[in-house]
Amino acid sequence: MLTSDLIRTLLPGLLLLPIAAGVALRFLDGQKARMAALSFAIAQLLLTIVIVAGGMFEVQDTAGLEALTNIREKRSGPVFAPRCVPGDPMTNGKQTFTTKFDVMPFSSGHPKIKAAQFFIGIDGLNIWLIGLAGVMLLPVVLLSWDTVTDRLGAYYSWLFLLQAGVTGAFLSFDLLFFYVCFELTLVPLLFLIGGWGPGPNRRDAARKLFLYTLAGGLMTLVGLAGTVLYVYDRTGELTFSIPKLAELIDVNMKRADEAGQASWQNAQMYLFLAMAFGFMVKIPLVPFHSWLPGAYSEAPPGVTVMLSALLAKMGTFGLLRICLPLAPDATLSVGMPLLGFLGAFGIVYGAMCAYMQTDFRRLVAYSSISHLGFCALAIVSFNSFGISGSVLHMVNHGLSTGAMFVLVGMLTRRYASSQIADFSGIWLKLPMLTFFMIFIALATVGLPGLNNFVSEVLMMGGLIDMRNTKVTGIVFAAVAGFGIFLSAWYTLTMIRTAFFGPLKEPQAAVGEVKDLTGRERFAIGPLALLCLLLGVMAQPVLDVMKRDSDRLAQVADDARLRVK
């Protein structure tokens, strides 16, 4: 078993390796760039496996120790307790919510004014998303092998810098560092979609994505800055540490008198709305979704996989990591009704739009709006079932929808068409691709035994146990259940139309059409296997996140008591 010290030493490598790859690849081109990108992707995957395999025991050990304490002691414990933090944040065995790596000091020597820091670590809420980021990079590189043919060095360079930004956001426990990583992903996306997108409107799609998410991110920045300054005004401590801010808010809300609690709650309402705005755009929730269909359909296939599997999860993860612990009372009073309604509406709206699509990529894009609306809805249910189910669903959706886009990319590369009406009976020509498409489609619609089923059941349980006087959880659960039915409707309709019946192929086929190559099987096979494993062996994954999801649920229970 890896020691905590070794994992702490290796953890920055998850950021440094893709940054180094991005710099190195800029000076390569052609086949050399492809091989170098593949080598870097494999190295990133291996490093991720080592860290996740060792880190899950660290997180579970913490959960086991906390299970020995009584309920009262658990309620007084830290909201977040990141493990394996570079810079050794422990003092005499006590968590200090900091590191030695200051990035932007604001007041040297002042004990209550802390610097922005390179504060990264792992816990039960981010460890599997870090694993997802490492897993998805390799299929993206392999899918790009034939679909991107010019300026390969620059393309792969931007791709790895995008990977660094996503991983940094998942790892971060510092507000400023999180925001920097969150926003820096826009730059690689702008160049990747605008420079290598296959469609005629790629630059408009890239510009729209950039402006939408930048505007949302700036609103989030206002909320983050407001939270830091409000806590500083109330406590005298200026810090960007997410665990420390969550702890200060939790402790002060418990200690404050009735008037003090009312003041905190009023401030939280405005801060929650500002912070959540950027995350709602990134997910995206309806009506902040209009950038998504164009970006997904105009982006290179590999970038579309990154968008669906990872970039959208930055929005849901931001709600979980920042909005819930820093504004728990506002999550109950504002987040549940507002995000609950938008999520529920998006479930049905996304599904109906997906059914009406005539393009493979747009169908899967709108299906993401539906599935992630379910995920956001479960997050704001703010209980252990909803939190655990939403984290698991982020991983499951990343795998299944990412795999779906991989397969769509392989199909459209062969035929130079993504119009569903151009296809029929494709299983006769591409039996292996059809097998994987059916398998991933069944995973996407939540077939029991495959990955999405487990997370959807947990999220449904979280909705039923919503416990909020302003909303009725059973109504949201019913809408979510109807969304699952609609998902099966449009997905299986697409499968029947394009892959069965008499053979019909687009006229624009690229050369002789053959089934999956060895490289393509290597790209899609592991994703399908993970969908199966998470469907039949999800409990170990849930055990790792239990401590942190339970502690966040305790914060919600404390906030519920203040309402009564």
- The C-alpha atoms of residue 479 and residue 486 are separated, in whole angstroms, by 10
Sorting pLDDT into bands at 50, 70 and 90, what band is 91? low
Return phi, psi of residue 307, to 5°: -60, -50
Token pair of 543 as six digits: 């055990």
Q: For position 89, what pLDDT does the model report?
A: 62
Buried b (16+ CB within 10 A) or exposed e, 138-150: bbbbbbbbbbbee
CA angle 372, 375, 380 (to 5 degrees): 130
Structure-block tokens of residue 239? 């810090």
For residues 23 and 156, give the distance between their C-alpha atoms in angstroms, rounded to a whole number.
10
Query: Which range, of 64-68, 180-184, 238-242, 435-439, averages the lowest pLDDT?
Result: 64-68
Which pLDDT score, from 0 to 100, does residue 72 have?
A: 37
Whether residue 224 is predicted with pLDDT greater than 60 in this model: the reply is yes
| Contact indicator for 390, 445 with CB cutoff of 8 Å | no
pLDDT band at 207 (very low <50, low <70, confident <90, very high): very high
Domain extent at residue 426: 4-563
- Is the pLDDT assigned to residue 93 strictly greater than 70? no
pLDDT of residue 236: 85
The pLDDT tens digits of the residues spanning 448-462 come to: 999 999 999 999 999
Rounded average pLDDT over 30-36: 93
Mean pLDDT on 8-31: 93
3-state secondary structure (DSSP) of residue 104: strand
Q: Give pLDDT, residue 110.
A: 65
**Residue 122, SS3?**
strand
- Residue 82 scores a pLDDT above 80: yes
Q: Which residues contact 211 (CB under 8 A, 6 or more apart)?
A: none
Cα–Cα separations (whole angstroms), residue 511 to 1, 30, 508, 514, 555: 50, 22, 9, 9, 59
pLDDT tens figures, 350-382: 999 999 999 999 999 999 999 999 999 999 999
Quote the Cα angle for 137-176-245, to 5°.
115
Lowest mean pLDDT among 151-165, 190-204, 320-334, 506-520: 506-520
pLDDT above 50 for 250: yes
According to DSSP, the residues that pair with 241 across neighbouring strands are 174
Residue 35 burial class via C-beta count within 10 angstroms: exposed 0-12, middle 13-18, buried 19 and up? exposed
Average pLDDT over residues 522-545: 94
pLDDT at residue 1 tops 80? no
Domain count, the chain: 1
